Chains A and B, each alone.
Chain A
Amino acid sequence: MNFKNRDLITLNDYTTEEIKSILEKAREVEKYEKTREKRTILQGFVLATLFFEPSTRTRLSFESAMQKLGGSVIGFAGPEATSIAKGESLMDTVRTVANYADIIVLRHPRMGAARAAAEAIDIPVINAGDGSGEHPTQTLLDLYTILKEKQKISGLNIGLLGDLKYGRTVHSLSVALGRFKNNLYLISPESLKMPRETIRDLRETGIEVHETQNLSEVLPELDVLYVTRIQKERFPDLEEYNKVKDAYKVNNALLERGKENLIVMHPLPRVGEIAYEVDNTKYAVYFRQVKNGVIIRMTLLGLILGVFE
């Protein structure tokens, strides 16, 4: 399997075998991360992080991953201090930066931006979120988290809760979970249901998909509850946001009605959809997801830059 110089725009471009192999490699990388071995294998490589939208975790996680393997990082965390503020296009920006870096990590508010950037340049591009589109490295870290917590990524009952319409993490994740033959429960207010394109992709994977608005009804079935934030910034209309912003609240009283080994995941940031009281319970794995994010990104940088077999 060869990952060298490949773009990562959506996991649909990767086979299920390739995804498995990335997750296996991540287990190995996690060992290096602990022992601080291989700290110099990306020495001399430059990563450019181009973030046209705010981010805490994804950008810092990529930068941390690159530096833990000895590489260096350039980039920006917002377009304000760059020539984009003067009106420079994304395409011109990436064509320029391609001369400074060996790999680009891009976040942009427009759907399809990462694909378009990747077509324009020769160095590999990793999509770190394109509007309401895809966020494949989040999906890989979510899969890795499920694998570590449940020792498998198939045959589980997984509930995706919250904003399934605008939440890009659940689009990538649901299709990946479908490819690994899990049963999916899509729990959202009517106005935030999963887009029909994603539903079609899910049906093509041949799995059972249950759409509902009622969390308590399906909770006892679940092995994994994946909670997402209702994203204010993606709503075209504030009134619509106010109608659904408090639709779901995950707390200890609710979780006690679930399976003994239920886990609760969240891509973060959260703004109240999971009560703080859940943080110290056996259910909460969302901060471990953050750790797994660094491991997955170290793995991807090593594979795409061709230093890992």
Chain B
Amino acid sequence: MSENELQVKKIENGTVIDHISAGKALAVLRILGITGAEDFTVSVLMNAKSKKYGKKDLVKIEKRRLTTTEVNKIALISPHATINIIENYKVIEKFNVKLPEEIVDVVKCANPTCITNSKEPVTPKFKVVEVDPIKLRCIYCNRFTTVDDIIKQFSGEEQ
């Protein structure tokens, strides 16, 4: 049993999100809408040692499966995250989050004068320019949307 596992107890059923970029665990919780008022256990480990990345965050959530949209959102702020689905204390499925080449209708363009931020029926679409940290380029206005812009949106600070 590794040092990290000792720090956070195993869960019976639920999801473990591992290899979250260090410092982004709270943003992941915001994406999942977890506030602490839930009736299930949520364990958060921040700045844990990682062989691959130096430091990482980790989140364990009891009794919860993620939707595809949630997984896609996590990929945006933490491109190396892995999702482990747990049943009866065992990992029954494990996969890496994956960034599509084009991000459609998940993120808003950070440029307030972009056509996608008007009343026009135009869905925001981006090309991925850089992966870690993420940088997107709007296919309409050509401006960048950065990881900080995305975290703000997911936290509901910017509507």
Contact = CB atoms under 8 A, between A and B. Distances in A.
B149 to A, nearest CB: 14
Contacts, number: 58
The 5 closest A-B pairs by CB, nearest first: A112-B140, A111-B141, A112-B141, A112-B115, A110-B115
Contact of A89 (B120, B137, B143): B120
A134 B114 CA distance: 12
Contact of A111 (B120, B121, B143, B144): B143
A197 interface: yes
Nearest to A10: B142
8 contacts: A10-B142, A110-B114, A111-B114, A112-B115, A112-B142, A116-B115, A134-B142, A195-B143
A116 B120 contact: yes
Contacts of B142: 10, 111-112, 133-134, 197
A91 B113 contact: no
Interface string B95-118: 000000000000000010111101
A74 to B, nearest CB: 22
A34 interface: no
Contacts of B9: none
Interface residues of A, number: 20
A109 B138 CA distance: 17
B51 interface: no
Interface of B: 111, 113-116, 118-122, 137-144
A20 interface: no
Nearest to B121: A91
A112 B114 contact: yes
A131 B122 CA distance: 16
A81 to B, nearest CB: 20
Of A10, A89, A133, the most chain B CB neighbours within 10 A belong to A133
B138 A112 contact: yes
A115 interface: yes
A109 B141 CA distance: 12
A89 B121 contact: yes
A109 B142 CA distance: 15
A113 interface: yes
A196 interface: yes
A128 B115 CA distance: 15
A112 B141 CA distance: 4
A134 B138 CA distance: 14
A132 B142 CA distance: 11
Given A90-B115, A133-B141, 13 more contacts: A91-B120, A91-B121, A110-B113, A110-B118, A110-B120, A112-B141, A112-B142, A113-B140, A116-B140, A130-B141, A134-B142, A196-B144, A197-B142
